[in-house]
Amino acid sequence: MTPAAAPALQAPPAPDSWELARRILDPGTFRSWDTPPAHRPATGPYADTLARARDRSGVDEAVVTGEGRAGGHRVALALGEFAFLAGSVGADAAERLVRAVERATAERLPLLASPVSGGTRMQEGTGAFVQMVRVAAAVRAHKAAGLPYLVHLRHPTTGGVLASWGSLGHLTSAEPGALVGFLGPRVHRELHGEDFPPGVQQAENLHRRGLVDAVLPTDRLRGALLDVLDVLLPPRRTAPAPADPPADPPADPPADPPADPPADPAPVTAPPTAWQAVQRSRDPRRPGLSALLGQAATVVPLSGTAAGERDDALRLALARFGDARCVVVGHDRDRAATAGPVGPGGLRTARRGMRLAAELRLPLLTVIDTHGADLSVHAEEGGLAAEIAHCLADLTALPVPTVALLLGEGAGGAALALLPADRILAAQHGWLAPLPPEGASAILYRTADHSPQLAADQGVGAADLLRGGIVDRILPEQPDAAAEGPAFLRRTAAALEAELLAQSAAAPATRLAARLNRYRPIQP
């Protein structure tokens, strides 16, 4: 046992494919899609190997596919079977997998893939190796159809399987302690004469690195899947039994237009000055994104860029506020206190959220609450300015409905990067500025003494932003979100639900045009 493999090999044994299906799905709903393999050799050592694998495992290939129901929703499954030749994928397994993905796409089903594999089947050589191209293409087509592709990595998942259908999920989880890596530890040792450092290919390390969204034991997988489906899929509605139609049915009434968002309560205090808003937004008791997500019916946290970066100052999640389902991207003031200001990796995480919203055809909610971006050497070399630019470009063209919430501080490019939206809301003590007022005062006067006047002159407060058309609505604080706590959060969550539903009902062309036009009349 190598040092790198030791932690992973101590993980509980992965359930076989049938047991995994039983644990995930509603009882008695699994139905196999598999047909007998078509490319089996009739004789020879490989034929004997396949026969022994079938007898030992009880299945005829390393992939088991089918469908069932989870929480009443139809779901397609593609599950690896390690007991069959270490889960290795050859031509028949790849063919079965591709057909399952294509069927899930044709029937518009979410697909849960759970590989467990040593990689490509060595007995079949290059012919099996290149099948990963077909598999990846099928998964891409499924995602392009706006259908969820969810991945749960089991112990172990390596090689070509990880480098194709194991790494293309909209969301990816892994078993605790699972060995997950492109090059297996034994092969690495043979090729390089040394072991990987301990834990590099372990699920928990990949989660810390933003490659895996969650580390989930099998007994939590069903609950996590139900939460994901609750956000990604429209609610199931039980149709009433059909009644006999009347002899002369009345004409259908015209459809009601989307309801306007409910009116906000009248403020109980005079509007704050811009400088008062800046000061109140910095109150350490002020609720942030984490507290706001506590008002959601369902929250599915995601981790990092899915490409090896994670910045805890930027939060990414799927969420449902009432009937409004969305992808949430936002600054987390509580995490930033320990993680530091948002950097380029955080903005790349935000762009992952934008892509997820577009691919899953969900509205996007951005939440702005930051005292500024990371201004370190690391941030400069990591492309901070470029990531701000890419966020702006992506948001202005994103095809799905977008709502932005200026929840508190809105300093600099890190705030602007999440601002463009179809509809922009601001908390009463939210503010937006190129720099914190102290920074602007230092530039102009070489002292921070002029900060209050500059906050007013630059029009950073919510009331000024509303007059300038930069925001569409102010959410009152009665008198202050830090003092109100849950009441402010409940009102804000209700406002977000109404705004997300209203934008989802709007015509896409109208939304996109308005998103850009709001900035044209702004005068200095």
Domain ranges of the chain: 17-38+49-232, 274-518
Looking at domain 274-518, its CATH class is alpha beta
> How big, in percent rounded to 5, are the helix, strand and coil portions of the chain?
40, 20, 40
Work out the pLDDT band at 384, boundaries 50, 70, 90.
Answer: very high
Give the pLDDT score at 463.
96
Element (DSSP H or E) covering residue 232? helix 218-232
Give pLDDT tens digits for 270-281: 789 999 999 999
If we measure between CA atoms, which residue out of 302, 150, 325 comes closest to residue 231? 325
Work out the pLDDT band at 46, boundaries 50, 70, 90.
Answer: very high
Beta strands of 171-278 (E only): which ranges? 171-174, 180-181, 214-215
Give pLDDT tens digits for 133-164: 999 999 999 999 999 999 999 999 999 999 99
| Number of C-beta neighbours around residue 264 at 10 A | 14
What is the pLDDT averaged over residues 113-132? 95
Give the pLDDT score at 291.
97
**Do the strands 298-302 and 314-321 form a parallel or antiparallel pair, or are they unpaired?**
antiparallel
Work out the pLDDT band at 523, boundaries 50, 70, 90.
Answer: low
CA 231 to chain centre: 11
Give pLDDT tens digits for 355-376: 999 999 999 999 999 999 999 9
Give the pLDDT score at 418.
99
Give the pLDDT score at 271.
81
Lowest pLDDT segment from 187-201, 354-368, 394-408: 187-201
Give the pLDDT score at 217.
96
Cis peptide, bond prior to residue 12, ω within 30 of zero: no
61 DSSP 8-state letter: S
Looking at domain 17-38+49-232, its CATH class is alpha beta
What is the pLDDT averaged over residues 52-68? 96
Q: 380: Cβ–Cβ under 8 A, 6 or more apart, which residues?
A: none
Give the pLDDT score at 40.
81
pTM for this model (two decimals)? 0.90
264 has a pLDDT exceeding 80: no
Work out the pLDDT band at 266, boundaries 50, 70, 90.
Answer: low
Give the pLDDT score at 244.
40
Same topology, domains 17-38+49-232 and 274-518? Answer is yes
Lowest pLDDT segment from 181-185, 356-360, 400-404, 448-452: 181-185
What is the pLDDT averaged over residues 15-32? 95
289 has a pLDDT exceeding 80: yes
462 has a pLDDT exceeding 90: yes
Give the pLDDT score at 254.
38
